[in-house]
Amino acid sequence: MKRLDQVLANDGVGAELELVIKDVMVACKDIAYKLAQGELAGILGATEDENVQGETQKKLDVISNDLLKDILIANPYVRGIGSEEEDYTVAGNAGGKYLVTFDPLDGSSNIDVNLSVGTIFSVLEAQDDQSGDNQEVFLQNGRKQVAAGYVLYGPSALLVMTTGNGVNFFTLDRNIGEFVLTKSNIQIPEDTAEFAINMSNQRFWEPEMKQYIDDCLAGEEGPLGKRYNMRWVASMVAEVHRILVRGGIFMYPYDSRDPSKAGKLRLMYEGNPMSMIVEQAGGASSTGRIDIMDVEPKGIHDRVPVVLGSKNEVAKVVAYHSK
Ligand code: AHM
Ligand code: MG
């Protein structure tokens, strides 16, 4: 079986980027081991702090953030990092070529109930010589990503990643402490009859999204002509992983609960990396109106409406928005 470093070398990934990805994995393995220990490691429960998004931080959000931040800012090739749990971007090495953004523990409402969570990361190249504590250097659209991935901490820990050459699955072999290749060249089925959305927000959606979901619920007799199934794990990493394995469509659309926010999910460390993975696996990813990776960020914590998954179903949702 091939190890992650062998696959990266085969894909022609340069030594510097490889060392950045390997450091992300050192932190992720540590997170995986801590999660597996659960209550025994004393890492469950909330802190008394809120992050910049106004969300209460879980102990494990903070621990995971510190693991990733500490190893990455010490990496000579990392100019800086941006994290869901850091108010501002943090400088690494002034000579570093790469910028890493991450959500250290996504789906964190699942931590205390022992359900799936994940780490999401995205790597960009610094385009000029500004320091990594200046967020301007990060403000590039998703097409500029040179690598994107997530680690899903489920019954097994899985790394799913792309460097622009297709999508591979790696499983953490705890006996040797390495991620080994377990599936390559992942392709998302183009059609699906399975959607994932938090239905409790329905009354806050735009009319186009309401109409699409109403038509899904109408089943065979409705305009979409098929009977849909629904899933909602409340963990984007788990939803995207299900879609990579068996197809589907995941949506966290714009809603009017807080008009200052364009959606719940964040562009630079949730929307963009997941979009790169999904597109590299033959799927599609949109705000409902434009491709997520074409959205120009204005701030490191920008939010974005997300519609991603099986290509033909995403195209239907986009068509509802252009009516
Ligand atoms: P988080 O980064 O604070 O964990 O929030 C992101 C998560 C996603 O993983 C998931 O799709 C969504 O929030 C679930 O939201 P909700 O609780 O509204 O269902
Ligand atoms: Mg998140």
Q: How far does the centroid of ligand 1 lie from the alpha carbon of residue 108, in Å? A: 7
Spatial distance between the Cα atoms of 222 and 229, rounded to a whole number of angstroms? 14
Same domain, 200 and 177: no
Same domain, 155 and 265: no
| CATH for 290 | 3.40.190.80
- Structure pTM? 0.96
Is 80 exceeded by the pLDDT of residue 67?
Answer: yes
What pLDDT does 230 receive? Answer: 98
Spatial distance between the Cα atoms of 295 and 275, rounded to a whole number of angstroms? 11
What pLDDT does 184 receive? Answer: 97
Cβ within 8 Å of residue 155, ≥6 positions away: none
Q: Is 305 among the domain residues?
A: yes
**Average pLDDT for 296-309:** 98
Q: How confident is the model at residue 228 (pLDDT cuts 50, 70, 90)?
A: very high
Question: Around ion ligand 2, which residues have CB less than 5 A away?
Answer: 103, 106
Q: 244: domain range?
A: 194-322
Q: Which residues are annotated as a binding site for substrate?
A: 106-109, 198, 264
Same domain, 86 and 229: no
Same domain, 164 and 53: yes
Q: Is 188 among the domain residues?
A: no
Strands (E), the chain: 46-50, 56-58, 78-83, 90-91, 98-106, 117-125, 147-153, 157-162, 168-173, 178-183, 194-196, 229-230, 249-252, 284-286, 306-309
Q: What is the pLDDT of residues 78-100, one digit of tens each?
A: 999 999 999 999 999 999 999 99
Q: How far does the centroid of ligand 2 lie from the alpha carbon of residue 102, in Å? A: 9
Please tell me the residue having the least CA distance from ligand 1 atom 16.
234
What pLDDT does 308 receive? Answer: 98
Same domain, 315 and 198: yes
Q: What is the pLDDT of residues 259-271, one digit of tens each?
A: 888 899 999 999 9
Same domain, 158 and 208: no
Mutate to test the pocket of ligand 1, among 105, 233, 236 (most ligand atoms within 8 A of CB): 236
**What's the structural domain count of the chain?**
2
Q: Is 266 among the domain residues?
A: yes
Q: How far does the centroid of ligand 2 lie from the alpha carbon of residue 83, in Å? A: 10
| CATH for 154 | 3.30.540.10
What pLDDT does 131 receive? Answer: 96
Q: Is 146 among the domain residues?
A: yes
